[in-house]
């Protein structure tokens, strides 16, 4: 049953071809958990909550820092030092009180990942480090859940829909199919070391949110079986076709890893 406020709020979305009241109902019944409430996680969370996804989880252990405010536009100066997950929950509740928000101000680990992610229909990886990316990927494969992946570096971004059927009906690749081995420790600088174009996470995060909504609504062609590359300096996009690796140790035909591992050790940290 829809209230008048909900109908007014979602009207411009509900009149879209392929959405309608049925699609909006699907969003209302859906649940998404976003791992990371930083540069990428902020726009993802804002657009999913604004769109009316019924239940949204926020996994983030960090506190707001002054250096975050150049790109993480959900937070304010007076919130420096406060837990991001709790601040994000409060701000997003004000954006859309019809969405149920759940904050997890903890570090995602091999001990709690399955428990936290299991209760959601879709997982969005907006993290900023390789151990978490491999952890989230492996957990999604074990739980048989689709995963929206995004990453940024200086002026460049990547987006993919992982572990989701492709247009050809094949099983889509997982993160390990794209990147079987993590880079050597110290070979990829962090944002603090290399810098980041302030608007880049907003652009890439919006693309990630679009893919999440497409998956939930069942409309369009999600980026399953593809890796989208965005170059902000050149204002260019490239879409690379990628396939599942039959020998992948996690999602392959004969997987050799059937549980979560120590991802800090896996990444050589």
- Give the predicted TM-score (pTM) of the model: 0.96
Distance separating alpha carbons of residues 131 and 265, to the nearest angstrom: 9
CATH 3.40.50.300 fits 4-266, yes or no: no
Domain boundaries, the chain: 4-266
Separation in Å, CA 263 to CA 10, 64, 100, 105, 117: 41, 25, 31, 20, 17
Sheet hosting strand 236-241, strand order edge to edge? 100-104, 55-59, 31-35, 122-125, 147-153, 156-162, 226-231, 236-241
Mind listing the pLDDT tens digit for each residue in 203-246? 999 999 999 999 999 999 999 999 999 999 999 999 999 999 99
Residue 16 gets the label, from left (phi > 0), alpha (psi -120 to 50) or beta, of: beta
pLDDT of residue 192: 76
Distance separating alpha carbons of residues 68 and 84, to the nearest angstrom: 11
pLDDT of residue 191: 77
Mind listing the pLDDT tens digit for each residue in 115-151? 999 999 999 999 999 999 999 999 999 999 999 999 9
Name the residue among 211, 193, 206, 200 with its Cα closest to residue 156: 200
Region 42-63: what's the mean pLDDT? 98
**For residue 39, how far is the Cα from the chain centroid?**
11
Name the residue among 222, 121, 225 with its Cα closest to residue 170: 225
């Amino acid at each position: 049953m829809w209230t008048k406020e909900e109908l007014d709020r979602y009207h411009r979305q509900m009149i879209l071809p392929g959405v309608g009241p049925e699609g909006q109902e699907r969003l209302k019944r859906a649940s998404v958990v976003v791992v990371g409430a930083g540069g990428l996680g902020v726009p993802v969370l804002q657009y999913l909550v604004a769109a009316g996804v019924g239940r949204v989880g926020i996994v983030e252990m960090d506190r707001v820092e002054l250096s975050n405010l150049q790109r993480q536009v959900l937070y304010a100066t007076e919130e420096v030092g406060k837990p991001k997950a709790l601040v994000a929950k409060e701000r997003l509740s004000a954006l859309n009180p019809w969405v149920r928000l759940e904050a997890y101000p903890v570090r995602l680990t091999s001990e709690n990942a399955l428990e936290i992610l299991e209760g959601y229909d879709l997982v969005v990886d907006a993290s900023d480090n390789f151990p978490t990316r491999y952890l989230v990927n492996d957990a999604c494969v074990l739980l048989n859940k689709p995963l929206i992946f995004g990453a940024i570096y200086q002026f460049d971004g990547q987006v993919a829909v992982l572990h989701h059927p492709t247009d050809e009906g094949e099983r889509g690749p997982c993160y390990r199919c794209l990147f079987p081995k993590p880079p050597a420790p110290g070979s990829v600088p962090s944002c603090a070391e290399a810098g980041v174009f302030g608007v880049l996470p907003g652009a890439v995060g919006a693309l990630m949110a679009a893919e999440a909504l497409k998956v939930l609504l069942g409309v369009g062609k999600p980026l399953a079986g593809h890796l989208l590359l965005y170059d902000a300096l050149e204002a260019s996009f490239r879409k690379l076709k990628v396939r599942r690796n039959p020998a992948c140790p996690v999602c392959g035909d004969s997987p050799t890893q059937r549980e979560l591992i120590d991802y800090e050790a896996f990444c050589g940290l």
